[in-house]
Structure 1
Amino acid sequence: MKLRPLGDRVVIKALETEETTKGGIVLPSSAKEKPQMAEVIAVGPGGMVDGKEVKMEVKVGDKVIYSKYAGTEVKLDNEEYIIVRQSDILAVVE
């Protein structure tokens, strides 16, 4: 199955966070911060969204930083994805 986002939506997959601190302490999953870095999996077509022209600025494969509590989490084929609006993406990591 494949996700195809509509409008200005982007499908991202969160990158795993480090499980140990700089001091070498292993963190349980409940103590880890929610990751804010992700990889772009699919990009919507853009176009007219809420009466405004939206040009998509990210592409598949980009590593991005997104708003901490943005988007809708979706599980598909045992993989977890997040669907966000392009405006919830704060930066592209180069």
Structure 2
Amino acid sequence: MSAIEGLNTLRKVTMMGDKILVKPAADQQQTRSGLYLPPTVAEKEDIQKGTAVKVGPGFPIPAATDDDEPWKEKKEDVKYVPLQVRENDQVLFLRRNGYEVEVDGENYIIIPQSAVLLMIREDELSELGL
């Protein structure tokens, strides 16, 4: 696990491409039947839940070129296909695709959008009255 320290470092973090910074949810320490689980069991779970804290801009797409007007100034504006996941979404993701980091003493996991199995967006649920 890598550690990044500094004053309010999380606020300065910028995710690249399709990467998502996730704050993992606290591991459940007890089963439904009442058995207490050691911490090593929760670390081996394939699927984990958490909250998206920072989200990258998305997948870059090439800019369309106009070769029929060579006198025009060419701009290389990068455009992105945005990610479906937004900040503060609850996500269920594949842990094996993640990379653990520590920022300001807190544990986070960096995952690609392809590792996300489902997401729950709180603001849309409240708009629907659910």
TM range (shorter): 0.7 to 0.9
C-alpha distance in 2, partners of 1:4/1:91?
A: 23
TM-score of the two chains, using structure 1 as the length reference: 0.84
CA shift for structure 1 position 55? 2.3
User: Is it true that 1:90 corresponds to 2:117 in the alignment?
Assistant: yes
Which of 86, 91, 95 is 1:64 aligned to?
91
Provide the residue aligned with 2:31 in structure 1. 21
Aligned residue runs from structure 1 range 1-94, under 5 A: 1-2=9-10, 3-32=13-42, 33-34=44-45, 36-48=48-60, 54-93=81-120
**Which deviates the most, 57-66 or 13-22?**
13-22
CA contact (8 A) 1:8 1:54 kept: no
| Distance in 1 of aligned mates of 2:88 and 2:28 | 21
Unmatched runs of 5 consecutive residues or more in structure 1: none
Alpha-carbon distance in structure 2 between the residues aligned to 1:31 and 1:10: 25
**Distance of 1:87 and 1:55 partners within structure 2:** 13
Structure 1 pair 19/83, CA: closer, same or farther in 2 (3 Å)? same
- Identity within the alignment, %: 30
> Per residue, is there more helix in 1 or in 2?
2
Task: Give the AA of the match of 2:60.
Answer: M
**What is the Cα deviation at residue 93 of structure 1?**
3.0
Q: Distance in 1 between matches of 2:34 and 2:99?
A: 33
Residue type of the alignment partner of 1:41:
V
- Higher share in strand: 1
Unaligned runs of 5+ in 2: 1-8, 62-79, 122-130
Aligned residues: 92
Shift of residue 18, structure 1, vs aligned partner = 1.5
Q: CA RMSD in A?
A: 2.0
